[in-house]
A and B are shown apart, each in its own frame.
Chain A
Amino acid sequence: MKYVLMYTSRPDLDAAVPEERRAEVYQAIYAWFEKYAANFADGGAELQDPGTATTVRASDGGGNPVVVDGPFSEAKESIGGFSIVDVPDLDTALAMAREWPSLEFPGVAVEVRPIVPHDMDM
């Protein structure tokens, strides 16, 4: 089954992480991607910070969509990147997510969501 792993964090808390610690965790993240290389499918991406986001939103009055500065959600958490994995079951995906190196920082979370299969006999 395919799942998206969404790496989320709290940008306000991220700012407090010392630079050298961040570099160490980056190393751990590379190692993590290498360890699970066989599980990744399709693309994935690391995203620029939410300050760079622009959102196109349906207009309340039903007119043309409006373009606004900022991320779609006002939540404190923001998605910093995502991967797509193809693994036998949820437990395998969760086992990977549990080892996501950034989880040692406060406010970090990984959301695991199955992808809708379009080849299923529905």
Chain B
Amino acid sequence: MTPLHKHHRPEPRPGPLDEQIAEAVRAEAGLVTATLHRFTRDFDIAEESVQDSVVAALRSWRADGIPDRPGAWLTTAAKRRAVDLFRQRGRARRATEAFADLQLTESEPTGATPDESPDERVDMLFGCCHPSLAQEARLALTLRAVVGLTTPQIAAAFLVPESTLAQRIVRAKRKIVEAGIPLAIPTDDLGQRLDDVLTVVYLTYNAGFLDPPTGEAPRTTLAGDAIWLANLVCDRLPDEPEAWGLLALLTFQQSRAGARFTPAGDLVLLKDQDRALWSGDQIARAESYLAHAAVQRRAGRFQLQAAIAACHAGAPTWAATDWLQILTLYDLLLAHDRSPVVRLNRAVALASYAGPAAGLEEVAKLGDQLAGYHLYHATRASFLAALGCAEEADVANRRALDLAENPVERNLLSARLMSP
């Protein structure tokens, strides 16, 4: 059992070889990058050589099977590649030093040793999520350097051309090296920096949120990766309540994964989900994470969102949900995060508590900021429909459909437009 499974992650089901390879790579790549960074003292070379070794592994393991110690295999391949890269870039002295190191260590076991020292993947995560990098670069770099996804995999997940993504990563790595961005947990300003890291983890989860279930093992989905990253941060920074808040939030979200789609792959909204399909185990786990966070008595936006998710998890039906409690939590959340999306979600809770007219009045105030957001129009449409304004609801649903990009959301909106 790899150390990654110690955090209550379900045992992966035996799947086709490709899935096992993907899991093995994701389990090791971040650690190998940390090892290579120590070996090369150059993040760019380290990351590049691990990436190349991952691509080589995907090819070689498909033919020969997964080696006994995949981490050691990747480390050795990456070190050899690093020596080549130093040479290619005309850095002969570094190539010679690295080669000498490689000779010394080659005979020893070079596998990742996560339990001996603090997990360096979290240090790397803080470097990849540094505020001096653009948000989209943070996300791409995290998925590559910490999670071990390949450029084509990331490009596919975010629907961007591979060349765009590759460029984004190259530029970000260059900045890390040339601007001297530390790959370290900061001593200064930890609160804000942690929030930056947690935001990237949250965005990773969101990117995979609407992927219909494929029966794949957890670590081969973005949602699974995000929960794994959140676990990593909690392990390393156990006294940070927002980290636990995020882990709780994602675990609550994940507990509904089995109810989020029909067997045919159609999206089912929370309101309409069969709550018997929610995972009681995951809900219990999420509740314990949230309780752990609450002990610190430092509320934050992820804990509050998790608390809202907990209210849903504890409600027998949509109608019997404690909407007043949820509204109160949204009001607290607004003190931490005044973004229009939070206000839109609060309007949904308000409509459930005080009726669709109240919700409609609230969303009307968000029209300027959210005009380009499909869920703004979809939410308005549902309030209008509840108020009997079928034609206006249709117009709003059509607008939502024009703006929605995700196929499962588009299907849901199309179905709404077709229903009488």
Q: Which A residues lie at the B interface, using CB under 8 A?
A: 1, 3, 88-91, 93-95, 113-114, 121-122
Residue in B91, B94, B182 whose beta carbon sits within 8 Å of that of A89 in the complex? B182
- Interface SS, A side: mixed
Chain A nearest Cβ from B178, distance in angstroms: 6
B93 contacts the other chain (Cβ, under 8 Å)?
yes
B372 contacts the other chain (Cβ, under 8 Å)?
no
Chain A nearest Cβ from B189, distance in angstroms: 8
Q: Which B residues are in CB contact (< 8 Å) with A94? A: 132
Q: Which A residues are in CB contact (< 8 Å) with B94? A: 121
Q: Which residue of A lies closest to B95 (CB)?
A: A121
Chain A nearest Cβ from B134, distance in angstroms: 15
Question: Are the C-beta atoms of B188 and A95 separated by less than 8 Å?
Answer: yes
Tell me which of B93, B179, B182 has the highest count of chain A C-beta atoms within 10 A of its own C-beta.
B179
Question: Are the C-beta atoms of A89 and B188 separated by less than 8 Å?
Answer: no
A114 and B182 CA atoms in complex are apart in Å by 13
Question: Are the C-beta atoms of B182 and A90 separated by less than 8 Å?
Answer: yes
Q: Which A residues are in CB contact (< 8 Å) with B132? A: 90, 94
Q: Which B residues are in CB contact (< 8 Å) with A93? A: 180
Q: Which A residues are in CB contact (< 8 Å) with B213? A: none
Q: Which residue of A lies closest to B93 (CB)?
A: A121
Give B144-199 interface residues, CB cut-off 8 Å to A. Answer: 178-182, 184, 186, 188-189
> Could you list 17 examples of A-B contacts with CB < 8 Å?
A1-B180, A88-B180, A88-B182, A89-B181, A89-B182, A90-B132, A90-B179, A90-B181, A90-B182, A91-B182, A91-B184, A91-B186, A114-B178, A114-B180, A121-B91, A121-B93, A121-B94
Q: Which A residues are in CB contact (< 8 Å) with B130? A: 90
B323-345 interface bits toward A, Cβ cutoff 8 Å, 1 = contact, 0 = none: 00000000000000000000000
Q: How many A-B residue pairs have CB under 8 A?
A: 32
A95 and B130 CA atoms in complex are apart in Å by 13
Question: Are the C-beta atoms of B91 and A122 separated by less than 8 Å?
Answer: yes
Q: Which B residues are in CB contact (< 8 Å) with A90? A: 130, 132, 179-182
Q: Which residue of A lies closest to B188 (CB)?
A: A95
A3 and B130 CA atoms in complex are apart in Å by 17
B120-138 interface bits toward A, Cβ cutoff 8 Å, 1 = contact, 0 = none: 0000000000101000000
A113 and B181 CA atoms in complex are apart in Å by 12
Chain A nearest Cβ from B18, distance in angstroms: 39
A88 and B188 CA atoms in complex are apart in Å by 14
B90 contacts the other chain (Cβ, under 8 Å)?
yes
Q: Which B residues are in CB contact (< 8 Å) with A121? A: 91, 93-94
A89 and B189 CA atoms in complex are apart in Å by 15
Q: Which B residues are in CB contact (< 8 Å) with A95? A: 188-189
Chain A nearest Cβ from B90, distance in angstroms: 7
Q: Which residue of A lies closest to B182 (CB)?
A: A89
Question: Are the C-beta atoms of A91 and B188 separated by less than 8 Å?
Answer: yes
Tell me which of A3, A90, A95, A122 has the highest count of chain B C-beta atoms within 10 A of its own C-beta.
A90
Q: Which A residues are in CB contact (< 8 Å) with B189? A: 95
What would 18 more interface pairs be, CB under 8 Å, given A90-B130, A94-B132, A121-B91? A3-B180, A89-B180, A89-B181, A89-B182, A90-B179, A90-B180, A90-B181, A91-B182, A91-B186, A91-B188, A93-B180, A95-B189, A113-B179, A114-B178, A121-B93, A121-B94, A122-B90, A122-B91
